[in-house]
Structure 1
Amino acid sequence: MKNNTRRGELLLTITALIWGTSFVAQRVGMEYIGPFTFTATRFIIGTLSLIPVIFIMGRIHNKPKSKASNGTNKDLLIGGLACGIALFFGISFQQAGLVYTTAGKAGFITALYIVLVPLFGLFIQKKVGKSVWIGVVLAVIGLYLLCMTEGFTISKGDLIVLCGTVFWAIHILVVDHFAPKVDGLKMSFIQFFVAGILSLLVAIFAENIELSSILDSAGPILYTGIVVVGIAYTFQILGQKGTSPTVAAIILSMESVFAVISGMIILGESMSLKEIIGCVIMFIAVIIAQLPAEVETDTQAKKNVI
């Protein structure tokens, strides 16, 4: 059980690293095409990239159902649809917000789901420790320093990204509910397909889709489609199989740190002293909330052994 937890945490950490760098790719890609066109193409590519993986894994296991996949096809379909809808709204708000804000700030604002996951979790009887709530309070303080101006206003881009954070929190909780019941790869396939189709429908009516513009954005699209969508989101589902939703949210929120670093290195972005202090406080919040959770898990494991 402990090995499964460590494996899940490793997969989630890799996911956070990939997600963090994706903010840069998303900003670069939108220099040529609209946000929904970008999202649609990346998710369609991500869906296609999973087909050979599902086929190969099916041949390797050669079983109708694995031990970890004891749910029904109905669970798989409902889980995939729910994840896909949450994913569509989360990425749509994030993508649109990146038009008006930096990759680094968007990464930290998105990380606010570490606050929303335990709050939403209370409604489905998922308790969290006091240390997590300390981290939550610090995260709110950090977010305030990062986003709020002297006139107590928040920029248009920051607000749009903040709206998407609600759906990222919902997505984590939906994954937590269905991931232990179904095949993670197949649920990833369904959620990407749903998110891709929804994005394409919006793009058809709201944006001007041109093949030449899509080809100009081929690099960012392929990276976010294959690496971010096909690999990272699948790692999230597989990683959450042995990890609590609150701990998963905390680990995944590290994407904010990677977003800032990649934004500075690749795009030459910068932050004010107040924004940097906000980022540091949010990073401390992540550490405080995560470490005791691991200790608590180990302590409970020892009690079970005794």
Structure 2
Amino acid sequence: MHYIAHLYGLRSILPNCRRIVRPTQVARKTMTPATPCKPSSPRLRLSKAECVLVLITMIWGGTFLLVQHAMTVSGPMFFVGLRFAAAAGLVALFSWRSLRDLTLFELRAGFFIGVAIMIGIGLQTVGLQTIPSSQSAFITALYVPFVPLLQWLVMGRRPGLMPSIGIMLAFAGLMLICGPAGASLNFNAGEMVTLISTVAIAAEIILISSYAGRVDVRRVTVVQLATASILAMLMIVPTGEVIPGFSWFLLASALGLGAASAVIQLAMNWAQKSVSPTRATLIYAGEPVWAGIVGRIAGERLPGLALVGAALIVLAVIVSERKARVKTEAQVPDAV
């Protein structure tokens, strides 16, 4: 109230001050040429929410190698269940009071997002048993051109020219990143399940964007993480997975990656309230690059043909969102 009263007082003073500080006609003419440069400068700045998405994208890229190492002591479904149980517990620990106000709509939203997370991360983890983390990350990046495809199949929104070009570039990159055998469509099991996981990850992005702004971030995050954990644990029986013995490395990996998952999901749910899906997806496109850097530091070396394919996938990611990004910036000037 004090701030509003202060503004009101300034408003009454400004008309009198305007007569004193108003520039002359000549001065106004000399100042006008500088004004056209003003709109271009904000494009170089990222909003606070976008900076957060850049940070979690770096964290996300680094998790691929950690998950691959964890697969040496655990099966994929048990580890995914343990990881998301830790993540759900951490978020619930800091937001347990707000959970009392959980609504049916938030429960339903969290469940659907959690199903997509479990399928996407679960299949991705299965693939990491047989393919390098950097290769998995670049295949996972295909969820970006898959978003317009999924919207076309489910919502009837036909992709435009740029998304269609992006899809073709992504397919060509996938052929190359899977190696010489990929050129004849002889994908191995790890590459195939990772490719399928990208559809679920694309669905997760669409669902988060559709529910953002209508749910409480902390409550829906707890529900989606708990759902992913429970479903992954239930998958242990049909997949015939053996529950591993106690291991400090397994416990530390689950807690560490659980904390990372909690931060990533909270940040996605919060940031996508103000960041458009196209802008967010373009930021997420940096995830395979960070994973490739981490993998290279750890000694992974993709062949030259696979690197060309990885470059095509990154190009497809940028091309597929190019036109939509321009439209978004024109509609929401304060988002850039």
Interval of TM-score (by shorter of Structure 1 and Structure 2): 0.7 to 0.9
**In the superposition, relative to structure 1, how do residues 247 and 126 fare at CA in structure 2: closer, same or farther (>3 Å)?**
farther
Shift of 1:124: 2.6
| 1:78 paired residue among 92, 102, 108 | 108
Q: By how many angstroms is 1:280 displaced?
A: 1.4
Confirm whether residue 142 of structure 1 aligns to residue 173 of structure 2: yes
Alpha-carbon distance change, 85 to 42 in structure 1, aligned in 2, over 3 angstroms: same
Give the counterpart letter for 2:241 in structure 1: E
Secondary structure of the 1:212 match is: coil
Q: Distance in 2 between matches of 1:89 and 1:162?
A: 12
Question: How far is 1:245 from its partner?
Answer: 2.8
Query: Which residue is equivalent to 1:244?
Result: 276
Matched, 1:88 2:118: yes
Alignment deviations for residues 5-42 of structure 1 (CA, whole Å, 9 cap, x no partner): 83333232222211111110100111111111111111
Deviates more, 1:203-212 or 1:166-175: 203-212
> Which residue of structure 2 lines up, in the alignment, with residue 161 of structure 1?
194
1:231 alignment partner, one of 263, 270, 275: 263
Across the two proteins, how many residue pairs are aligned to each other? Answer: 286
- Establish whether residue 152 from structure 1 lines up as the match of residue 176 from structure 2: no
Q: Which moved more, 1:238-247 or 1:167-176?
A: 238-247
Question: Is residue 188 from structure 1 mapped to residue 221 from structure 2 by the alignment?
Answer: yes
Q: Which runs of 5+ in 1 are unaligned?
A: 59-63, 66-71
Provide the rounded CA distance (Å) in 2 between the counterparts of 1:241 and 1:16: 17
Q: How far has the Cα of 1:125 moved from its partner?
A: 5.9
SS at match of 1:242: coil
Percent of pairs with identical residues? 28
Residues 235-264 of structure 1: CA distance to partner in whole angstroms, max 9, x if unpaired? Answer: 111122223334433322321111111111
Q: For 1:105, which of 135, 144, 148 is the aligned residue?
A: 135
Q: Residue in 1 aligned with 2:246?
A: 212
- Do structure 1's residue 9 and structure 2's residue 50 form an aligned pair? yes
* Structure 2 SS opposite 1:269: coil
In 2, Cα distance between the equivalents of 1:11 and 1:235?
A: 7
The one-character-per-residue Cα deviations of 1:178-219 (angstroms, maximum 9, x if unpaired) are 122101121111011011111122235633324423x23233
2: CA distance, partners of 1:127 / 1:18:
33
Report which of the two structures shows the higher radius of gyration computed on alpha carbons: 2
Q: Using the alignment, how far apart are the partners of 2:192 and 2:277 within structure 1?
A: 25
| Conservation of the 8 A alpha-carbon contact between 1:117 and 1:245 | no
Structure 2: runs of 5 or more not aligned: 1-41
2:109 partner amino acid: G
CA distance 1:258–1:125, shift in 2 (3 Å): same
Q: Quick one: which amino acid aligns to residue 242 of structure 2? A: N
3-state secondary structure, aligned to 1:153: coil
